[in-house]
Amino acid sequence: MDVTIREYRPATDEAVVVEFALRAWEPVFASLRAVLGADLFARLHRGDEGWHAFQGAAVRRALADPSMVSFAAEVSGTAVGFVSARLTEDREIGEIFMLAVNPDHQARGIGTLLTETATQWLRQSGARVAFVETGGDPGHAAARRVYEKTSFSALPVVRYFAAL
């Protein structure tokens, strides 16, 4: 399998990226629902069906955000993964904001390649530190494995939610 990492192309990549990102995050959102409970999950993500629209819009916003740079992993001419990254206002800290790999192409090192590409872009852009956030729930286990393979060190953080 030949994988090419290239800049994201809005005209040809957006629809395919959003589609595979939502499929890639199915287990993540199922895990979040299990951990948070149905009521709190619904409040945060607009319910069991609403999370697709919620997350699809989030992907589109990230891809269109002029403060972000996005890269695509391409196999046989089609995007099969993407990563979006940005610098903080002072340009000293960089964030890997969003990453997804088509489920049909997972567990082949594509997430790691995309993470390394984004990290290299941040380094070349002057960032002194890079960070990425992911969940501690079972649905985010694959993401944690990707970041642990690269140069990231985990800092446990606990975020609490309450239904109001």
| DSSP string for 81-135 | EEEEEEE-TTSSEEEEEEEEE-GGG-SSSHHHHHHHHHHHHHHHTT-SEEEE---
The verdict on residue 56 lying in a domain is yes
Q: In the prediction, which pLDDT does 24 show?
A: 95
Cβ within 8 Å of residue 10, ≥6 positions away: 63, 64
The verdict on residue 162 lying in a domain is no
CB atoms within 10 A of CB 86: 22
Mean per-residue pLDDT for 115-126?
96
Strands 93-101 and 129-132: parallel
* pLDDT above 90: residue 93: yes
CATH of the domain at 93: 3.40.630.30
Q: In the prediction, which pLDDT does 101 show?
A: 96
Predicted confidence (pLDDT) per residue in 15-27, tens digit:
999 999 999 999 9
**Residue 101 dihedral angles phi and psi, to the nearest 5°:** -130, 135
* More reliable by pLDDT, 33 or 157: 33
Number of compact structural domains in the chain: 1
- At residue 88 the predicted structure's pLDDT band, cuts being 50, 70 and 90, is confident
The verdict on residue 154 lying in a domain is no
* pLDDT above 90: residue 75: yes
The verdict on residue 155 lying in a domain is no
Number of continuous H segments (helices) and E segments (strands) in the chain: 6, 5
The verdict on residue 160 lying in a domain is no
* pLDDT above 70: residue 28: yes
Contact 62, 68 (CB under 8 A): yes
Query: Domain span at residue 118?
Result: 4-149
> Considering Cα of 91, then 94, then 98, then 103, what sign does the dihedral take?
positive
* More reliable by pLDDT, 62 or 49: 62
The verdict on residue 158 lying in a domain is no
pTM of the shown model: 0.89
The verdict on residue 16 lying in a domain is yes
Record the tokens describing residue 48, joined without a space. Answer: 């069991």
- Token look-up 């800092």 returns 155
* pLDDT above 80: residue 47: no
